[in-house]
């Protein structure tokens, strides 16, 4: 049994960042994690492995579709699935090992095991009870279940199982056209699987700017993904090594079935707080199972905080990281601030899709006067050279003040390009500020500047 200033529960991006920040600020800190490796869902079974698979399969796609045009002749590579999975495992190991190194460097104790909070100021792991002046819950989330659908992580899988299938399915049905469904659907489509996506709503990626969502669907369809929209899944039946999905079309209530080797359930995630003993502690929760916190991430019980996927807001690793730093700084007596208006979202398909701030739809709802500056990647020299001319940058700015209110990019490196707009928004910039900033030629980022120019007197290359 030991005594700490702070014990963080969970070593995902929220928890490990919080622990490191606490240590940097001079606090004695431990982080409790029950997995064999640090990094949580993101590093072990989420963001990082999926990006390795997206990278590998994008390379394959380039070899199959664009190499010959560039004069790179020869047979396109064939897929060694075992090797691809071991590349993915190696990528995970490098990243999780990196966090272990950072813990040692910053003198963060890793308490291995699953934590519970028997009372405020105490954290129990196995038979040991540790004292902590402050406890930060960063226990993350788990895939939410769907009535009538039993996940076995072999034939009917969540993202975890989908990243470790023992063979590439001939046909994959994805339930849910959200971020997980489309990223992993893209991976298997590029590997030759027939991919059918069934989505409850009438558009893919709910919450995304509608114009971008339509363009995104067109591009994915061209890549071979098939979509059934407006369809409510009723259940999945597994027989042998096949699974049959039954769904009803919402427009006429007609019932249909579809069979595949693998079904990926990607219908959202929910906070994971099992076993912490929050009920007994009397911690207030919302009806959605999220822990209620104030602006300093404090729960209703003194000395207990919560961050990341366990509380309200987008379930994103980088949002959790920012909250992890902020809660640590708050405990240290500083006055941190997370700007929830400037949290980017990225879908790592090809092309990538990225967004920040308001959409046209949310601005209309608010009755705000805005202008749109758009620029297609077809007008960008670098994109054309790199077979990346599809897509566009769209900047939304206040009609009167020109202040940037939001931005949406579908195209090459969108997930990186979005950040110059994030910085601009953080500093309250006008579109003209971006337009007057010199951008190196030839880069994709010129498309961002051109979209900013389009908010004013016009883009040059459109
Ligand atoms: P999501 O919320 O992005 O999408 C779920 C989709 O499933 C929605 O389109 C929803 O309408 C649909 N759906 C719900 N019930 C359905 C039903 N019964 N039948 C058919 N469709 C149904 O959730 P997803 O993709 O599972 O991701 C979970 C979380 O993980 C999200 O918060 C996401 O932001 C995060 N994530 C982020 C990534 C990134 O930033 N690149 C990558 C992967 C996950």
Average pLDDT by consecutive 10-residue portion of the chain (462 residues)? 95 98 98 98 98 98 95 93 98 98 98 98 98 98 95 97 97 98 98 98 96 98 98 97 97 98 98 97 97 97 98 98 98 98 98 98 98 98 97 98 98 98 98 98 98 98 94
Could you tell me the sign of the dihedral formed by the alpha carbons of 434, 440, 444, 447, in that order?
A: positive
Ligand 1 pocket mutation, candidates 53, 178, 355, criterion most atoms within 8 A of CB: 178
User: Is the entire prediction scored with pTM above 0.95?
Assistant: yes
Residues having CB closer than 6 A to ligand 1 are 146, 175-181, 183, 198-201, 206, 232-233, 266-269, 315-316, 346-348
92: its two tokens: 């995970």
58 assigned to active site: no
Instruction: Check residue 76 and give its pLDDT.
Output: 82
Ligand 1 probe mutation, 42, 179, 308, 344, most atoms within 8 A of CB: 179
Of 2, 58, 9, nearest to 31 by C-alpha is: 9
Residue 104 alpha carbon to ligand 1 centre in Å: 35
Residue 248's beta-bridge partner residues? Answer: 232, 255
Strand partners, 239: 242
Distance 211 CA to ligand 1 centre (A): 19
For ligand 1, the distance from its centroid to the CA atom of residue 175, given in whole angstroms, is: 9
CB atoms within 10 A of CB 419: 15
Closest Cα to atom 38, ligand 1: which residue? 179
- Look-up of token digits 């129990």: 124
CA distance 299 to 302: 7
**Which residue in 65, 256, 337, 441 is the catalytic one?**
441
**pLDDT for residue 75:** 87
- Measuring CA to CA, which residue among 438, 441, 385, 447 is closest to residue 413? 447
Number of neighbours of residue 433 by Cβ within 10 angstroms: 15
């Amino acid at each position: 049994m030991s005594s700490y200033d702070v014990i963080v529960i969970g070593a995902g991006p929220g928890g490990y960042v919080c622990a490191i920040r606490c240590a940097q600020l001079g606090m004695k800190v431990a982080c409790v994690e029950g997995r064999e490796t640090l990094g949580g869902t993101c590093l072990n079974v989420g963001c990082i492995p999926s990006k390795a698979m997206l990278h590998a399969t994008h390379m394959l796609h380039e070899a199959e579709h664009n190499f010959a045009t560039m004069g790179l002749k020869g047979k396109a590579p064939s897929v060694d699935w075992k090797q691809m999975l071991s590349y993915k495992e190696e990528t995970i190991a490098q990243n999780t090992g990196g966090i272990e190194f950072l813990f040692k460097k910053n003198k963060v104790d890793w308490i291995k095991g699953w934590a519970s909070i028997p009372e405020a100021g105490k954290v129990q792991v196995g038979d040991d009870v540790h004292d902590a002046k402050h406890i930060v819950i960063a226990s993350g989330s788990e895939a939410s279940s769907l009535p009538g659908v039993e996940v076995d992580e072999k034939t009917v899988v969540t993202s975890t199982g989908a990243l470790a299938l023992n063979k590439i399915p001939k046909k994959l049905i994805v339930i849910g056209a959200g971020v997980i469904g489309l990223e992993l659907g893209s991976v298997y489509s590029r590997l030759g699987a027939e991919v059918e996506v069934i989505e409850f709503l009438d558009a893919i990626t709910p919450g995304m700017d509608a114009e971008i969502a339509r363009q995104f669907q067109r591009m994915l369809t061209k890549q071979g993904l098939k979509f059934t929209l407006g369809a409510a899944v009723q259940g999945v039946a597994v027989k042998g090594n096949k699974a049959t999905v039954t769904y009803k079309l919402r427009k006429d209530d007609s019932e249909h079935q579809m069979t595949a080797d693998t079904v990926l359930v990607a219908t959202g995630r929910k906070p994971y707080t099992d076993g912490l003993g929050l009920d007994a502690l009397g911690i207030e929760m919302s009806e959605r199972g999220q822990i209620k916190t104030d602006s300093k991430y404090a729960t209703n019980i003194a000395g207990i905080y919560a961050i990341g996927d366990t509380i309200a807001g987008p379930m994103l690793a980088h949002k959790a990281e920012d909250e992890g730093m902020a809660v640590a700084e708050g405990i240290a007596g500083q006055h941190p601030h997370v700007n929830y208006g400037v949290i980017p979202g990225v879908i790592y398909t090809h092309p990538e899709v990225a967004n920040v701030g308001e959409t046209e739809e949310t601005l209309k709802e608010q009755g705000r006067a805005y202008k749109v500056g758009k620029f297609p990647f077809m007008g960008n020299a670098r994109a054309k050279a790199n077979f990346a001319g599809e897509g566009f940058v769209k900047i939304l700015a206040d009609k009167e003040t020109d202040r940037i209110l939001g931005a949406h990019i579908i195209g090459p490196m969108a997930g990186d390009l979005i950040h110059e707009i994030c910085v601009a928004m953080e500093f309250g910039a006008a579109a003209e500020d971006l337009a007057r900033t010199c951008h190196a030629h030839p880069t994709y980022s010129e498309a961002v500047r051109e979209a900013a120019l389009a908010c004013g007197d016009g883009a040059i290359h459109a």
